Amino acid sequence: MTASAAAHGPPEAPPLPAPYLERMQHLLGDTFPELLESYDHPPASGLRVNTLKTTPAALGEIVPFALTPLDLASEAFLVDERDHPGRHPYHAAGLYYLQDPSAMAATLLLDPQPGERVLDLAAAPGGKSTHIAARLAGKGTLFTNEVHPRRVWDLSENLERWGARNAVVLNEAPQRLAQRFSGFFDRVLVDAPCSGEGLFRKTPAARLEWTPKLVESCAVRQDALLATAAAMVRPGGALAYATCTFAPEEDEAVIARFLATSHDFEMAAPPDLPGCVPARPDWVAPDAPGALAHAVRLWPHIGPGEGHFVAVMRRIGGAPPVTRIRAPRARRPAVVPAPRSVTALYHAFCGEHLTTVPGEQGILALAGSYLYAQPTDPPDLDGLRVIHPGWWLGIVRKDRFEPSHALALGLASSDAAQTRELRPDDAALHAYMRGDVLPDPGPAGWVLLTVSGFPLGWGKRAGGRLKSRYPKGLRRP
């Protein structure tokens, strides 16, 4: 493929920006044609298995499409988009997440461990958050934040489907979080908003938005975001910075400026991950710190995914000054311990409809009429914009408790007193997901509907009919 052809791109795509091509030709030299040639190929589709619910081997036995293993991680695969894995009921049941293979590297390099407190600072739509949740294996707490008021609900929905029980979902400005959580987290991930050059193949519209000025403005915002995130890392903790751009101004240069002013952080040597190649300090300056090469780049002409950059740093100094400024009270209801009357309603529901009491290891908390299970050592969230302060269990009505979809997706089928198993190709399953009422003789009460043994959602049976409680926003025509 010639540079001229690449500038025009595929017939359905806008042309690649000429200044971008000129810069990449200068940086890559002899390997520039390989990058250009990658634009002739469709982007790869990645699938990551939800190890909170199943194993890669078990999923491979039941899915009706091929899974091609990736060396990147045992839970990582390639799939064919023509098989429409996102429309399968197993996706609705949260058995896997569809994610660009290169995007999986950030969590693998951050390496969160069970029991830790981890913050994903700019998290929507939730790919990296769900990966972190799986790696925490239900132990510790995942704090996942998105400042955009609409995108945060996409994040919340994906974590709900994932069955994450130990996630706190926030809708806050990073600076406000830094005021509250100085030196608080074991690991912090900054998936920084960027110019998106690494997605030019996957998202051709990004080509129209790109300008050299956009690269410059992104770098300014990234400097501020990284400094804010660093304030929340505990001594000995890790800070990961990730982008999906090739621009050195947004990658190596941002890290170089950060290390020059943050002497209590140092680069961490990455594990050997397939498809990851050392970053390029020489693209910043001839005398740039050689340690910048510990950051990694992922290229579409080297690995199966799109373009990414990841740098991991460790805090080697003492604790930062603890400010812990209390934010003004948010409009959302305050999170308070659940009163005995509410706890009694919840336990009555569990005694009648479940075989266990989900969330009893944590603290039951109430936000308005929403009941949550919080970690045993809940963080101070007062005054912050909180979407979910923990695992959402359900809604407390005047004299009863109604379970949430998040509760259903966080259970195992054995946790329910009554279940109805549906085959993936069962017409009844698709009717349920449309919100239809199903004929279903049996005792009255809440029923957990499952697909291949995995929870899909609630139904309520009465008079031989099962009313779908599948969320209206998720229903399919």
276 is a catalytic site residue: no
376 in Cβ contact with 159 (< 8 Å)? no
Catalytic annotation, pick one of 218, 244, 276, 350: 244
CB-based contacts of 199, cutoff 8 Å, min separation 6:
206, 244, 306, 307
Distance CA 103, CA 308 (A): 7
The label of the residue with tokens 């009921």 reads: 89
| Among 344, 341, 422, 334, CA closest to 383 | 334
CB-based contacts of 80, cutoff 8 Å, min separation 6:
45, 65, 66
- Assign 17 to helix, strand or coil: coil
- Assign 323 to helix, strand or coil: coil
Distance CA 68, CA 161 (A): 24
Distance CA 49, CA 95 (A): 6
306 in Cβ contact with 202 (< 8 Å)? yes
359 in Cβ contact with 373 (< 8 Å)? yes
108 in Cβ contact with 71 (< 8 Å)? no
327 in Cβ contact with 179 (< 8 Å)? yes
36 in Cβ contact with 270 (< 8 Å)? no
Structure tokens at 148: 């955009």
Distance CA 381, CA 86 (A): 34
Instruction: Tell me the catalytic residues.
Output: 244
